[in-house]
Structure 1
Amino acid sequence: MIIKLVLKLGWILLGSISFVGGIIGMLLPVIPQVPFFLLTIWCITKISPRFHNWLLRNPLYIKYAKPLVNRLENLKHHPKQKAQKINGSTISGVDIEISLSIPISDFCF
């Protein structure tokens, strides 16, 4: 019982600190605010099952975040596909970088 209370207070403290960090990030352009607000939402979902259920039923979550979460879950269950996608994107990124770094005038004779 005491451990649950300490954990709940820890989540509240972490969520509050991250919320203040997000507010500071809104005021100062050097500090990003989005990670702080995402951490705040995550902490609140750990504290309140009611908020967690509301968030999962929210139309914006269903429209934008749920497809991303499903895609990440699929990559977690299929690590070979993950490695292939990472290797493919890395190779194509290197190809693009190399092709952009070589001036066209070097190929003209």
Structure 2
Amino acid sequence: MKKDLKISHPLRICYYIAGWTMVILGIIGVVLPIMPTVPFLLVASWCFTRSSPRFHQWLNNHRIFGPPIKRWEEKKAISPFIKVFAIMSMTGGFLSFFVMVHPPLWISLLVAVILLLIAIYIVTRPSS
């Protein structure tokens, strides 16, 4: 925690604002099925470790948001349901992008490769 004390006050405020922004986006993700929740909460947790130990503790002990954050921080693990949901969401998002936007082939391939790399990362994480 000593390294956190070296963070300047203006930077700490930026982390605090970013943390709450991520919490709000995570809450929106609970309601909107196309938007993720946990990645935003992980970033919020990271921001709060640098700005507000009180809110970091609150987020980690939250009955809904806390468990996936703790699983990630302790084991770098993702639940099987979330893995499937994430990959299905990425696939649906890519297909929607491809059908509605009609991007040039190189952009489609670039997006497909990026999503494939993300999917590989997700699948190779331990399951919780």
Normalised by the length of structure 1, the TM-score is: 0.44
Considering Cα pairs closer than 8 Å and 6+ residues apart, tell me whether 1 or 2 has the greater RCO: 2
Greater share of helix: 1
Q: Which structure is larger by alpha-carbon Rg, 1 or 2?
A: 1
Normalised by the length of structure 2, the TM-score is: 0.38
